[in-house]
Amino acid sequence: MSAASTVVAVVYLLSACLFIVGLKQMARIRTARRGNFISAVAMALAVAGTLVEMGFVDYRWILGGVVVGSAVGALAAIRVPMTAMPEMVALLNGAGGAASALVGVAFFYTHVIEAGRAGTVAEVVGSASALTLFLSVLVGAVTASGSLVAFAKLSGRMKGAPILLPGRHALNVVLVVATIAMGIAFTWMAPGMGAALGLIWALFAASLILGVTLVIPIGGADMPVVVSLLNSYSGVAASMTGFVIGNNMLIIAGAMVGAAGLILTQIMCKAMNRSLASVILGGFGGEVSAEAGASEYQNVRSAGVEEAVMVLEAARNVVIVPGYGLAVAQAQHAVRELADLLARRGVHVAYAIHPVAGRMPGHMNVLLAEADVPYEQLWDMDRTNSEIRSTDVVLVLGANDVVNPAAQNTPNSPIYGMPIIEAHQARHVFVIKRSLASGYAGIKNDLFELPNTNMIFGDAKKVLQDLVAELKQL
């Protein structure tokens, strides 16, 4: 081992350690930002180490790629609105997956086609590299096209409703079997370079199609789970690339992302009361037609803004339950203004954040943080439920299924068993909502019929602004 390659090996080791430390710190609120920075330093070290390892080469292609990528990435990161975070993560993820797949194909071109060597791919680069090359193309391409579909669904460029092709399970099985067969043929059986070349591109194409057919039957509401799962895949794809080029640091970083993505996916599924299997099989979580179930409601009391303000002003403590509707109406700032006004009148205000509030887990925290809501006012579900009985007023803003008592009281309800914020236990509940339309579970919300609940119909932002105006006049 030369001195240079020893140094590089140490740099890679340091980089791998920093990735672990960074990820660890990212899992704690106080250290999260520093953790992200440490992880970025690890990435810079890894890149630096690779450049040293490569020695002096021609940098024009490298520079071109880095300049374009940095510009696009930085611009997107600075300009994306916080509400669009789920689709942003989906896009970035797709880019990572596509990169891994392309590295696999490029490796094949460099070492087999352009080197002009005869024999099967396994004979030329070794069966381990050939096999993992096939896997990095498969997993990378599935991640890329799957993420693009998730992006399209999340950003509304594609209908959120599940698209159920006839015989879709059979189709997926055929595609998986076909890609594996092609991978094996590519590794050991392709007699000439031409055949291997055809196979790798056919494999690429089939994997892209597989990514699409795997994600289109999954409903828009389940997309965050899909993004998280694809995030895990992109880590696995990177790890496979590590096997191809024989780089342990890449294997480590990729495997950690794979594991982390899987855990996050699991946590999300639990919070949404869905099994991973049922998400992947699809067909659930489409946008339910707007007025479904509306006629079933009886004894719903609606209230005006004046009445709500009187109750709010007399309260000692108010808990606000924000949901997806708040994000859609872009009403984060309006709700903070209301909370500030109430606080100035001596009302204690807190926000109850359900684990899956917003458009993906933790998204609501980001949105409220953007509106400068103090972190201490954000309560998690357990804290809220332990104090809900002594709460005077709960204000439900665009949340629906996560406050549905049917999850606790109706064993045959589809959401039975899902952890909820027990808004119905509070003395008084106001629900600000456009209509009695159902949430994504497509079921009636028993909370709306309870005697301590009043509905305030209207757009969340508009109603909040009216509440603020009314409160200011008092």
Partner 1 sequence: MMGMLLVGIYVFVLAIFVGFEVINKVPSTLHTPLMSGANAISGITIVGALQAAATADVTMSNLLGAFAIALATINVVGGYLVTDRMLRMFGEKR
CA atoms within 13 A on the CB side of 22: 18
**Could you give the CA distance from residue 334 to residue 312 in angstroms, rounded to a whole number?**
16
Closest CA relative to residue 393, chosen from 298, 303, 297: 303
Contacts with partner 1 by CB under 8 A: the residue count is 117
Does 243 contact partner 1 by CB under 8 A? yes
To the query of whether residue 401 is one of the catalytic residues in this protein, the response is: yes
Q: What is the DSSP letter of 435?
A: S
CB 87 within 8 A of CB 113: no
Closest CA relative to residue 241, chosen from 254, 256, 260: 254
**Per CB under 8 A, which of residues 122..151 are in contact with partner 1?**
126-129
**Per CB under 8 A, which of residues 46..65 are in contact with partner 1?**
46-47, 50-51, 54, 57-58, 60-62, 64-65
Does 154 contact partner 1 by CB under 8 A? no
CB of 109 to partner 1, least distance (A): 4
* Only segment of 167-175, 211-219, 236-244, 454-462 that touches partner 1 (CB under 8 A): 236-244
Of 58, 222, 401, 446, which residue is the catalytic one? 401
Q: How far is CA 186 from CA 97, 192, 376, in A?
A: 21, 10, 57
**Could you give the CA distance from residue 68 to residue 471 in angstroms, rounded to a whole number?**
51
Does 353 contact partner 1 by CB under 8 A? yes
**Per CB under 8 A, which of residues 361..400 are in contact with partner 1?**
361-363, 365-366, 369-370, 372, 374-376, 378, 380
Q: State which of residues 8, 11, 87, 88 lies at the interface with partner 1 (CB under 8 A).
A: 88
Q: Given the structure tokens 């299997």, which residue do they identify?
A: 277
Closest CA relative to residue 229, chosen from 179, 275, 292: 275
Does 85 contact partner 1 by CB under 8 A? yes
Q: Given the structure tokens 């350690």, which residue do they identify?
A: 17
Residue (261 or 439) nearer to partner 1, CB: 261
Q: State which of residues 175, 203, 221, 252 lies at the interface with partner 1 (CB under 8 A).
A: 252
* Only segment of 85-93, 167-175, 385-393, 423-431 that touches partner 1 (CB under 8 A): 85-93
Count other Cβ atoms within 10 Å, centred on residue 343. Answer: 14
Q: Which helix (H) or strand (E) holds 159?
A: none
**Per CB under 8 A, which of residues 174..203 are in contact with partner 1?**
none
Closest CA relative to residue 415, chosen from 438, 435, 392: 438
Q: State which of residues 248, 275, 386, 435 lies at the interface with partner 1 (CB under 8 A).
A: 248
Does 278 contact partner 1 by CB under 8 A? no
Q: Computed from CA positions of residues 270, 274, 279, 280, in that sequence, does the dihedral angle turn out positive or negative?
A: positive
CB of 174 to partner 1, least distance (A): 28
Q: State which of residues 10, 74, 170, 177 lies at the interface with partner 1 (CB under 8 A).
A: 74
CB of 419 to partner 1, least distance (A): 11
Residues assigned a catalytic role? 401
